[in-house]
Amino acid sequence: MITKPGKIICVGLNYRKHIQEMGRELPEYPTLFSKYAETLIGPTDDIELPEQDNAIDWEAELAVIIGKSGRHITERDAADHIAGYSVCNDVSMRTWQFRTKEWLQGKNWENSTPLGPVLVTTDEWTPGSTITTRVDGELMQEASTGDLVHGPEFLVSYISTMITLHPGDVIITGTPGGVGHARQPQRYLGDGQVLETSIEGIGTLRNRAVAAGRTLAE
C-alpha cells in the first residue's frame, strides 16, 4: 500500500452518466483538489468519524499510482508513467465540504480515506470493469470505470503540465452516482457501519466506520 505519497490529487465530477443525470454539461477541464497523506488508511482499517460533522459520505474511486517522474507529459506518453491502479474511497465530511465553494476542508480529515488493497499493474488491468460501494451489504454505487470523462492518461498529462509527478503520487479519478448526499432522503455513514469499496479485477476495501475516540472493543 502507498502510505506516504508526495501528492494525492483528486478529481471531481468525472463520470458521464452521473453528470448527465444531474442535468449538468460534461466538463471541458477536470475539477481538481488535493488530499494529504494523513488522510490515508489501509484496506481494512477503521474510518474515523469526527464529532464535528455528522454528514459523512462515501465516494468509491479508481486510484492511479504514478511509477515514473515526469513534467509536461504528453497524453500519448502518459501510460509509461503509470505504475498501476488501486481502489480508494474519498470519504467526505459534507457539512464542512459545503461551508464554502472550496472542497478541501471536507476532504482532509485524518484517518478517513482507505486505499488498497493492492496495486495492479497496467499490463494486468485497464479501466472498464465495475466499481461498487456497499454499506452494510447494501449496494449504493455501481458504475463502469470506463465511464470516466477524463481518463487516467489525460489526467496524468493535464496535472503534469502544472507540477512534476513523482513515483508514489496518487491521482484519485472521481466517483460515480449513488453518494449518500444526493439521495432522497440523504444517507450517511454511521458508527459501526461497514463500508465496502470494490473494483472488479483489483480488489475490495472493507472498512468499519468508528466514532472518533471509540474503539471496536468498547
The structural domains of the chain, ordered by start, are 8-211 (3.90.850.10)
List pLDDT tens digits, range 6-15: 999 999 999 9
Checking if the pLDDT of 23 tops 80, the result is no
| pLDDT of 199 above 50 | yes
Q: How confident is the model at residue 216 (pLDDT cuts 50, 70, 90)?
A: very low
Beta carbons of 145 and 128 less than 8 angstroms apart: yes
With pLDDT > 70 as the criterion, what percentage of the chain qualifies? 96
Give the residue-averaged pLDDT of 122-145: 97
| Positions of E strands within the chain | 8-12, 31-35, 40-41, 47-49, 56-57, 60-66, 82-89, 92-93, 113-121, 130-135, 138-144, 170-172, 194-199, 203-211
Look at residues 124, 113, 37 and name the one whose alpha carbon lies nearest to residue 83: 124
d(CA 122, CA 174): 19
The answer to whether the CB of 172 falls within 8 A of the CB of 34 is: no
- Tell whether the model's pLDDT for residue 218 goes beyond 60: no
Q: What is the mean pLDDT of the segment spanning 151-166? A: 98
Buried b (16+ CB within 10 A) or exposed e, 199-215: beebbbbbbebbeeeee
Please give the residue that has the higher pLDDT: either 108 or 18: 108
Whether the Cβ atoms of residue 209 and residue 195 lie closer than 8 Å to each other: yes
Q: In terms of Cα–Cα distance, which of 188, 171, 195, 202 is closest to 67? A: 171
From residue 194, give the alpha-carbon distance in Å to each of 152, 180, 183.
29, 14, 19
pLDDT at 86: 98
Q: What is the pLDDT of residue 217?
A: 46
- Would you report the helix, strand and coil content of the chain in percent, each value rounded to 5? 15, 35, 45
Average pLDDT value for the chain: 94
Res 144 pLDDT > 90 = yes
Quickly tell me which residue has 469526527 as its cell.
Answer: 50
Q: Is the pTM of this model over 0.75?
A: yes
